[in-house]
Amino acid sequence: MKTSFRTKTNISERNGKSLAARELAVAVFFSVLFLVIAGRAVHVHVFQGTWLAEQAKSQYNKYMVTCGKRGTIYDAKNQELAVSLEVTSLGAFPKRMDDKKEVANKLAKVLGLNAWDLRKKLQNTTSFTWIKRKISPKAVAEIKKFKLPGLEFVGEHNRFYPNRGLAAHVIGFTDTDGKGLEGVEFQYDQELYSAPDKFLVTRDARGKRFNTSDGYTTGFQGNNVVLTIDRQIQYLAEKALNEAAKEFQARYGTAVVMNPNTGAILAMAQYPGFNPNAFGKSNKDLWRNRAITDPYEPGSTLKVILAAAALEAHLLTPTSSFYCENGSYRVGGNKVNDTHPYEWLTVQQIIKYSSNIGAVKISEITGKTLLYETLTDFGFGKNTGIDCPGETPGILSNCKKWRTIDTGAISFGQGISVSAVQLLTAVSAIANGGNLMKPHIVQSVVAPDGTLVKNCEIQSPKRVISAETSEKVKEIMASVVAEGGTGVNAALSKYTVCGKTGTAQKIDSGRYSADKYNSSFVGFAPKNNPQVAVLVILDEPKNAHYGGTVAAPAFKRIIHETLNYMNVEPENDNNDDTILLAQRFETKRDGVKP
């Protein structure tokens, strides 16, 4: 019993020691473990904390780059002429694709591409490649259904012109990347363009966006450009020009409508036109704005400037008479002819009947220096500074180089080239009392929030003739449109129109052609308070070629419809066409039928 007690005590002691040792071991083990964890925690938090935080951020937060939206182009009444639409482009990362053949076949079918070419493209590219830019929403939906790996849908903007071909030459167009190529799109590219920008997108562990917008539609955009062009007047001008050009089978046609008091272009039409939404399908030759870029010989329309030169210098009066040689006159070895033979004509009649010989005789009085200086003052031979690309200064050589025939020819608008906008600006100076305005097509540049960035309307006019001379030339121009004048087809019954016809022979193989003409008509109305100045030019019309026959009717239509649209009060209203509202109400009240 004693032995067994001792044995039990020994065992118990041994067990107690072993337990204490085990407890110690466990305590040490956990202490070491805790120390390791604590050490690691300190290491992670103190030494690697910043780096790890950045790593985590980069996994959840990503900067996405999106191209900015190009600004809108508005007309004078804030109607959209050019806008940007949100579209989707399809790109691919071929490395991430398992079966390129299958991807190529499926995409080619939906996008109307060649499957073989697409497959080759995917096989030959390792990094990112575009499959097709700016695809339809329907195609996007179909492709998304395939759930193909390695495809990237990228949001972009596409330029759209809601009025199709209306003012296409003025507005221009952009390339696929939204860069302006022609017209206002080119000239004001910097203002309209919006550089790509990046925005932060936070995603959760499942890739779902969290507390962030996709930043695409709410994004930023370039400035908006407001034109002086009025969509309605542009339409009226284009319609009248197209019909005249088709009637006379002209090669080209141009019509420009200007506010003579400000130099603002209200319409700038061209025939034939093109659709800027599909500009690639039209001939490149049709893209340029001929009213700005192409010089042409103005013909007799320039005689009004000659008259202004002579009257301003007080060398002549509108009633000064010249002998017009019965239709044929020799100038420096060359013969100048009139369409109809005339004997004695006053300055006013010379312009009214458009006598070339009379014009030569006036230029003999003014001399070449005064004529040259007046032409230069009116802006010929240099750029007008209009805010459109590719402006031509025209051709006006220095008068020191002029021979006698050159002075004579320039007096009736041959041997000099001008642009349509130059001529209309000069005639507008006559209309507004003698101030040469700078023509302009952009009214203002406005930020997306509506604040004014740039006002393009403030111009300082240059006085080129006195108000008195302006009145005299206006009288002369009004006689052109009166009974017996060459421009009678431009007359309006309710407004006094001032105008001048032009018929210029074109140069063909170095000589003046006998059957190729530029027919034009320039003028303004109403005479006493000009609101609109219009120039119509038709290039190489068939069947008829006189400006008074070919261009004057189109001019008349444009100016009549424009004045009507602008609600300009008639000058020559007879009482039958006027209803006095007060009288009408009075009559009604008295019970008498009006």
Partner 1 sequence: MGNGYDSVNKNLVWVVLLVVMTLELFIFTWSRVQCTTVGYALTHQQDENNHLVSLKKKLIIERAHLRAPDRIAAIAQERMGLNIPEQNQILTLR
For residue 259, state whether it binds partner 1 (rule: CB under 8 A): no
CB count within 10 Å of CB 474 equals 20
Q: Which amino acid is at 592?
A: V
- What tokens were used for 223? 């400035």
Asked if 393 and 264 count as a contact pair (C-beta separation under 8 A), the reply is: no
Q: How far is the CB of 163 from partner 1 (least distance, A)?
A: 5
> Which residue lies nearer to partner 1 by CB, 234 or 300?
234
For residue 232, state whether it binds partner 1 (rule: CB under 8 A): yes
Asked if 329 and 342 count as a contact pair (C-beta separation under 8 A), the reply is: no
Whether 31 is catalytic is no
Interface stretch with partner 1, choices 28-36, 180-188, 479-487, 491-499 (CB under 8 A): 491-499
Interface stretch with partner 1, choices 42-50, 80-88, 246-254, 346-354 (CB under 8 A): 80-88
Query: Residues 6 or more apart from 223 whose CB is under 8 A from it?
Result: 71, 191, 192, 445, 446, 447, 448, 453
Q: Which of 13, 23, 86, 515 binds partner 1 (CB under 8 A)?
A: 86
Q: How far is the CB of 111 from partner 1 (least distance, A)?
A: 23
- Three-state DSSP at 362 gives helix
Q: Which of 62, 494, 506, 516 binds partner 1 (CB under 8 A)?
A: 494
- What tokens were used for 443? 């009214």
Q: Which of 195, 205, 458, 579 binds partner 1 (CB under 8 A)?
A: 579
> Which residue lies nearer to partner 1 by CB, 319 or 578?
578
Nearest Cα residue to 362 out of 300, 299, 411, 416: 411
The rounded distance, in Å, linking the Cα atoms of 281 and 165 is 13
For residue 580, state whether it binds partner 1 (rule: CB under 8 A): yes
For residue 137, state whether it binds partner 1 (rule: CB under 8 A): no
Q: Which residues of 145-157 are buried (b: 16+ CB within 10 A; e: fewer)?
A: eeebebbeeebbb
530 to 569: interface string for partner 1, x by CB under 8 A: ------------------------------xx--x----x
Q: Which of 162, 385, 390, 484 binds partner 1 (CB under 8 A)?
A: 162
For residue 337, state whether it binds partner 1 (rule: CB under 8 A): no
For residue 220, state whether it binds partner 1 (rule: CB under 8 A): no
390 to 409: interface string for partner 1, x by CB under 8 A: --------------------
Q: How far is the CB of 71 from partner 1 (least distance, A)?
A: 13
Q: How far is the CB of 56 from partner 1 (least distance, A)?
A: 17
Beta strands at 73-74 and 224-227: parallel, antiparallel or unpaired:
parallel
Scan residues 434-473 and list those touching partner 1 (CB under 8 A).
none
Residue 193: alpha-carbon gap to chain centroid: 14
Give how far Cα 556 sits from Cα of 19, 77, 136, 562, Å.
119, 24, 45, 10
For residue 586, state whether it binds partner 1 (rule: CB under 8 A): no
Residue whose structure tokens are 């802006």: 379
Asked if 162 and 85 count as a contact pair (C-beta separation under 8 A), the reply is: no
Asked if 231 and 261 count as a contact pair (C-beta separation under 8 A), the reply is: no
> Which residue lies nearer to partner 1 by CB, 129 or 212?
212
Q: Which of 231, 438, 440, 474 binds partner 1 (CB under 8 A)?
A: 231
> Which residue lies nearer to partner 1 by CB, 208 or 335?
208
For residue 243, state whether it binds partner 1 (rule: CB under 8 A): no
Query: Residues 6 or more apart from 474 whose CB is under 8 A from it?
Result: 430, 431, 498, 527
Catalytic residue among 84, 89, 194, 300: 300
For residue 581, state whether it binds partner 1 (rule: CB under 8 A): yes
Roughly how many angstroms between the first and final C-alpha of the chain, as a whole number? 149
Q: Which of 209, 246, 340, 382 binds partner 1 (CB under 8 A)?
A: 209
Beta strands at 532-539 and 511-525: parallel, antiparallel or unpaired:
antiparallel
For residue 80, state whether it binds partner 1 (rule: CB under 8 A): yes
For residue 570, state whether it binds partner 1 (rule: CB under 8 A): yes
> Which residue lies nearer to partner 1 by CB, 472 or 560?
560
Q: Three-state secondary structure along 95-129?
A: HHCCCHHHHHHHHHHHHCCCHHHHHHHHHHCCCCE
Number of residues binding to partner 1, judged by CB under 8 A? 40
Q: Which of 104, 166, 266, 324 binds partner 1 (CB under 8 A)?
A: 166
As to burial, measured by CB atoms within 10 angstroms (0-12 exposed, 13-18 middle, 19+ buried), residue 272 is: middle
Scan residues 18-57 and list those touching partner 1 (CB under 8 A).
none
Give how far Cα 460 sits from Cα of 262, 353, 423, 456, 463, Å.
10, 36, 19, 11, 10
Element housing 508 (H / E): strand 498-508
For residue 62, state whether it binds partner 1 (rule: CB under 8 A): no
Q: Which of 493, 528, 529, 587 binds partner 1 (CB under 8 A)?
A: 493
> Which residue lies nearer to partner 1 by CB, 117 or 214?
214
Q: Which residues bind partner 1 (CB under 8 A)?
A: 79-80, 83, 85-86, 160, 162-164, 166, 208-214, 216-218, 231-232, 234-236, 239, 492-494, 560-561, 564, 569-570, 573, 577-581
Tell me which residues are annotated as active site: 300
